Amino acid sequence: MSPRDFPVEELAQRTEDEVREHLSKAKLVEGLQHMSPEYLKGIRRILTVSADTELVSAPSYLRAARHAPALNNFGSAMSIVQDELAHAHIAYRLLHDCGVDMEWLMYERPAAEFKYPYAFDVPLNSWVELVCANALYDQAGYVLLSDVHASSTFGPWKRALKKVDKEETFHLRHGRTWLKKLCADPGGKAEVQAAVDWMFILTLEWFGLPDAQKRHTIQLEYGFKGKTNDELRQDWMGYVVPFMEEIGIDVPAHRDEESESWVIDCPFPARFDPEKREWDLAAGAVSWDDVLERWRARGEMNREYVATLQQGYRAMHAAAVA
């Protein structure tokens, strides 16, 4: 957060005990009048990740949309980009209501300080990769936000996500419809397989640290979300793996009927070469500390995407002082 944000201690109007009593009665938190400093700090954190993810997905998808096979396909992709920007606006507007300096957060914050899944730091270079992202990345977003919608104790966000959930289903249908079409042709199927080979594991990472290493347990304690990281990762595989099997695409995961769970069939987490967009699975699993180091370093598209999003603001201010 910016040094210009209003301090949580000055904005929040409840004590921790009062917030927990409020939540114990199944009441929603509607604003600062119902928040403690800890609740406010936590909701700022999860809203920032959601807002940044939606925002950065827009230039990522726009880059690949240029390779649309026809004008009407480009129009569909642009509808998705527009949705992502609208979803980002919802979360940023709620952050404003939570006392966050929006001008700094959106337009002055350094690129490396944006908080979104590492997958968007790897460029999407084709139409095939765009529709794979719709089927994989947007499915991850849908799983996460559906959980927030069902479980969130923050009323304004809970209500806003009704609209977001419906629009995300369009993104998923777009991706799945195109993957079925592409996989009907041997050449198209090969392209899809090549994209899924690197994108599937990146999306497994999307859900964060395993439960045993999770640091922000307050997200569950305060009802910002209802399921753990590992449970959400299981839900995502429950949607994606059967679909990939249906269209004949290989993924490193399967259903174990005895344990009634989805099992990852490759070393995870693993070392990723972002330039080659390849996983070094032969080397075995790496530690989550190694993954966190890669995430913190960001990827090649981080600065480019954020610069694209901030360029109008910077040009306006440069003209004002000229």
| 263-296 pLDDT per residue, tens | 999 999 999 999 999 999 999 999 999 999 999 9
Q: Are 174 and 74 a contacting pair, CB within 8 Å?
A: no
**Backbone φ and ψ of 233, nearest 5°:** -65, -40
316/221 Cα distance (integer angstroms): 43
On whether the CB atoms of residues 192 and 183 are closer than 8 A, the answer is: yes
Query: For residue 3, is it within any domain?
Result: no
DSSP 3-state percent helix, strand, coil across the chain (nearest 5)? 70, 5, 25
CB 120 within 8 A of CB 60: yes
pLDDT band at 5; cut points 50, 70, 90:
confident
Q: For 100-118, what is each residue's pLDDT tens digit?
A: 999 999 999 999 999 999 9
Give the residue among 45, 83, 15, 2 at the shortest CA–CA distance from 224. Answer: 45
CB neighbours of residue 187 within 10 Å: 8
Q: How far apart are CA 78 and CA 70, in angstroms?
A: 13
Angle at 298 (CA atoms; ends 115, 238), nearest 5 degrees: 65
Instruction: Dump pLDDT digits (tens) for 168-208.
Output: 999 999 999 999 999 999 999 999 999 999 999 999 999 99
DSSP state, residue 256: E
**164 in any annotated domain:** yes
For 138-157, give the DSSP string.
HHHHHHHHHHHHHH-SBHHH
Coil, strand, or helix at residue 7? coil
3 pLDDT above the threshold of 70: no
The confidence score (pLDDT) of residue 188 equals 98
Judge whether 36 lies within some domain: yes
Give the model's confidence band at 2: pLDDT under 50 very low, under 70 low, under 90 confident, else very high.
low
Is residue 202 assigned to a domain? yes
C-alpha span between 185 and 54 (Å, rounded): 32
The verdict on residue 70 lying in a domain is: yes
For the record, the structure tokens of 151 come out as: 């479980």
Residue 170 within a domain: yes
Distance separating the N- and C-terminal Cα atoms of the chain? 29
**Any bridge partners for residue 279, and if so which?**
272
| Domain count along the chain | 1
Q: Which of 136, 170, 158, 137 is nearest to 249 (CA)?
A: 136
Give tens-digit pLDDT for 9-53: 999 999 999 999 999 999 999 999 999 999 999 999 999 999 999
C-alpha dihedral sign at 32, 221, 168, 121: positive
- Residue 322 pLDDT greater than 90, yes or no: no
Tell me the mean pLDDT in the region 55-77: 98
For residue 160, the enclosing domain spans 8-321
> What confidence score (pLDDT) does residue 1 get?
62
Contact between residue 120 and residue 111 where contact means Cβ atoms under 8 Å apart:
no
Residue 2 falls inside a structural domain: no
- Given a contact cutoff of 8 angstroms between Cβ atoms, the answer to whether 54 and 179 are in contact is no
Q: How many CB atoms lie within 10 A of CB 132?
A: 28
pLDDT digit string (tens) for 202-251? 999 999 999 988 766 788 989 999 999 999 999 999 999 999 999 999 99
Q: Is the pTM of this model over 0.75?
A: yes
Residue 1 domain-assigned (yes or no): no
Mean pLDDT across 127-154: 97
Q: What is the CATH number of the domain that holds 54?
A: 1.20.1260.10
- Check: CB of residue 207 under 8 Å from CB of residue 229: yes
Q: Is the distance from CB of 195 to CB of 135 less than 8 angstroms? A: no
For residue 217, the model assigns a pLDDT of 75
Angle at 137 between CA 271 and CA 183, to 5 degrees: 95
